């Protein structure tokens, strides 16, 4: 794993998420009680989770409203045992870094 800078410190507003492409992967980073990163593509029909509505640790896919835990990547509806990959995030002096 390698730390990579993905954004400036203020790139993601509190309570919001943003999608980044890092090493060809689409990753959503949420600024919700700290920063949390996970694969951004919903397993249902490939919706992007980044613009999804947040409620605590849960993001709702904007397309058909499936829910994921943004800390664990776990899908909370319909199919048991599905987990999106999660990544460590660190905010350094010069920006937001992802361990990928």
Binder among 17, 39, 47, 75 for ligand FES (CB under 6 A): 47
Rule CB under 6 A: is residue 44 a binding residue for ligand FES?
yes
| CA-to-CA dists, residue 86 to 40, 45, 75, 93, 94, angstroms | 10, 19, 12, 23, 22
Q: What are the strands, taking DSSP E only, across 32-99?
A: 35-39, 53-55, 58-60, 67-69, 86-92, 95-99
Name the residue nearer to ligand FES (CB basis): 11 or 77: 77
User: What residues between 58 and 77 interact with ligand FES by CB under 6 A?
Assistant: 61, 63-64, 66
Q: Tell me which residues touch ligand FES (CB under 6 A).
A: 42, 44-45, 47, 61, 63-64, 66
């Amino acid at each position: 794993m390698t730390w990579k800078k993905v954004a400036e410190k203020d790139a993601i507003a509190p309570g919001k998420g943003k999608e980044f492409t890092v090493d060809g992967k689409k990753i959503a980073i949420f600024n919700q009680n700290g920063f949390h990163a996970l694969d951004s593509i919903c397993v249902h029909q490939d919706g992007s989770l980044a613009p999804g509505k947040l409620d605590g640790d849960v993001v709702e896919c904007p397309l058909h409203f499936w829910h994921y835990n943004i800390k664990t990547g776990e899908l909370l509806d319909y199919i048991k045992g599905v987990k999106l990959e999660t990544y460590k995030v660190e905010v350094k002096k010069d920006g937001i870094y992802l361990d990928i």
